[in-house]
Amino acid sequence: MSLSNPVRVCNGHKVQLHKAVIRFLNGLDPAAWAYSMELIESLSELGLTREFKQLRKVQGDLWEICADTEKPNRRFIRYMFVARKGEFLVTNAYNKQTNKTPLKEIKLAFKRAKE
């Protein structure tokens, strides 16, 4: 798997981003990019704690970060990651369009986690 350099803060967890996630981030408008980076840094600082309200467990060790932007250009952005041994691998990012997480995104996340 092609990963970026890990993002790490003092007393934080290591977070790695797949190259596809980096491309997705680079295509966002500045406000959405800033909010997304803030959430990724929060993942590094807080981990899988109750204080991190934007987290949702999908299945097994697969989690999702909900990064919904503000109006007027509202977007429902999701980042999927795998949590293993105190490290987080952000495998994919997408714009959510339905109420359920698409099965193809779940399969893609597990596939990239195995690379």
Over 60: is that where the pLDDT of 9 sits? no
- Domain 14-114 class, CATH top level: alpha beta
* Boundaries of every domain in the chain: 14-114
Q: Exposed (0-12), middle (13-18) or buried (19+): which is 106, by Cβ within 10 Å? A: middle
Looking at the DSSP bridge assignments, the partners of residue 80 are 64, 92
Stated pTM of the model: 0.83
Angle at 39 between CA 100 and CA 71, to 5 degrees: 65
pLDDT at site 70: 79
Using a pLDDT cut of 90, give the percent of the chain over it: 50
| CA atoms 19, 24, 26, 30: torsion sign | negative
- Max mean pLDDT among 3-17, 41-55, 93-107 falls in 93-107
Handedness of CA 40, 44, 46, 50 (dihedral sign): positive
